[in-house]
Amino acid sequence: MSQHGLRMRLHPLLFALVLSACAAQGPVSRPTFFTSHAAAVTSPTPSEDYGTAHPFLLLDSAPDGQWLLACQAREDTNGDGRIETVFGYHGNIVGDALRPYLFLEPGEGIRIDEVLAVAPTGRFLVLVRDTTLWLLDMETREEKVLASQVMSDTTSPHPPSRASFSRDGLRLLYLRPEAGRSVAVVRDLLQGTERVLDAGRGLLGQALLDPSGQWAVFDVVEDTNSDGKESWPQADTTLASATCRGPVISSSHFGWEGDTPVRRYRRLEGGPLLQGDDILQPMGEGLLRRAPDRSLFFEHADGRRETWVPSSCNGTLVFADTAREQVVVACETQPDRGPLELHGARVHHPLGWQTYLPFSDNSLRLSGSDGRLLSLWVVSEAASSNEADIVIDLERRTVRVVPLGQVVAFLGAHALLQESVDPDGGCRCAQSGQRLWFWNVETGSPPNVLSESTDSGLFQAGDTVLVMGKRIDLRTGKVLGDASGGALALDIRGRVLRPGPTAVKEPGSSAQSGPVRWEPALKAHESQRTQKEQE
């Protein structure tokens, strides 16, 4: 084909790309992230591999597997003549530096600086690349510049939240630099409209959107240490930087340096800027607050107040159930232990168990993704030495003791329990392993065994989980198939992310090596047939 003919064939594609860039980004003349998709589709033998043959650390993946976020070491940054990464005890990287990449399709990915937020639905991403703050829509494949000249925070072990989504993924709150300061901007993701929210005086260091999408939460600092400047607090810790941090085995924390932030609240639909230690947290359209007499009350948007927890309880908030407008509290009526109670506008229900005081988040074991079930480590009121894991059904307001093992996943009224098993105790595993049970918390019937395995790891995608080498439907307890062997992630299509066939781990490296690829998990009947053939 002549060069003139080739130019004629490419012209419509180039024209479409320019139009797409103008529509999505205004002044930006060409797309930045979605340009390689067309080339990948037209490739005669497209690769299924994500990443290169170097150390690979997965950060996140889309529920449908459409994108990956990962860190890789691709350069000999320490000059020792090889590319190798070793994880330290505090999540630190020994060897060559890991850098973050975004993968929108198989290939080498796109080098980025920092990921700020991922929508719960997986549709939207907020990230920084080349000092530009971007919003990516994975459904429409549109990209939007939110701000320019954004400084990345790639060294902090506890970076402040600079972008967050509502639970439904339809609202975004982010920080944008203006005149050397940060301002909070709320964006309607479907309409594409934005407005700035006033956070009051001081240096705005962190902004969070309440999961309901109805409240903005601001953390602001003024010069509280009287050093003549406003400084966002920095942690004195052995914990490694959050960017491309490896697995953390241990870390120590020695306090904070800088000014002390105050927390402020603003309702997105209008109203005053609120501040005070009496505010516990937003709950839907209202606020949960503490009165001077130590009672807890719910304040509606119109100012009406309902006392939920009486002052006689002197309650410490354990869990707020926004959907059912109720709270679990520990009543501080004794020096070292407090009874657990469930309260709301028309709910005042003792749960029959106690928790150690002061209450620690370590006692809160697990909350279901749909908010119905809650697992706590408690002490019996009848026998103070009797400790147990319990599950609270917030919908039925009942309590059941976990019959064995520990809860690893919840959905609806169902729970997965994982029990450590000794081979001499009856497990058919070749070595000490785990036994997996499916338990209906609502009926309280004895749990059913689903698997016995030495595999580890837990991954969830939609209503399914991958645990101990089994892909399980949490709503029915049905085993959908096997998926053992170095799984890194699961998607809602039933695929498992694993190292590709060419991935070879370097002898001195503790990081998994790339590339990786999505592979279908074995169906249940196929895995059963394979097991019978082996027997």
Number of folded domains in the chain?
2
Residue 257 falls inside a structural domain: yes
Residue 292 included in any domain = no
**Could you tell me which of 385, 325, 323, 374 has the C-alpha nearest to residue 351?**
374
Reported as a single tens digit per residue, the pLDDT across 11-24 is 443 333 333 333 33
Mean pLDDT of the chain: 87
Overall average pLDDT of the 379-406 stretch: 90
Tens digit of pLDDT for each residue in 312-367? 999 999 999 999 999 999 999 888 899 999 999 999 999 999 999 989 888 888 88
End-of-domain residue from the set 241, 256, 274:
274
Provide, for the chain, the percentages of residues in helix, strand and coil under a 3-state DSSP scheme, each rounded to the nearest 5.
10, 45, 45
The per-residue pLDDT for 370 is 86
Contact 401, 392 (CB under 8 A): no
The first and second tokens of residue 212, run together, are 């309901």
Phi then psi for residue 361, to 5 deg, are -65, -15
Position 175 in a domain: yes
Q: Has residue 378 been placed in a domain?
A: no
Residue 244 in domain: yes
Q: CA-to-CA distance for 393 and 437, rounded, in angstroms?
A: 19
**Confidence band (pLDDT; 50, 70, 90) for 505?**
confident
User: What's at 463, amino acid-wise?
Assistant: D
Domain termination residue (choose one: 258, 274, 290): 274
Tell me how far apart the terminal alpha carbons of the chain are, to the nearest angstrom.
Answer: 60
Asked if residue 503 is part of any domain, the answer here is yes
The whole-number pLDDT of residue 457 equals: 84
Does some domain include residue 236?
A: yes
* 84 vs 484 pLDDT, higher one: 84
What is the pLDDT, as a whole number, of residue 18? 35
Average pLDDT over residues 268-274: 94
Give the mean pLDDT of 103-128. Answer: 96
Choose one of 254, 274, 294: the last residue of a domain.
Answer: 274
Cβ 368 vs Cβ 414: under 8 Å: no
CA distance 98 to 77: 9
Averaged pLDDT for residues 124-144: 96
Domain that holds residue 217: 159-274
- Check if the beta carbon of residue 240 is closer than 8 Å to that of residue 91: yes
Q: Does 287 map to a domain? A: no
User: How far is Cα 298 from Cα 214, in angstroms, rounded to an integer?
Assistant: 16
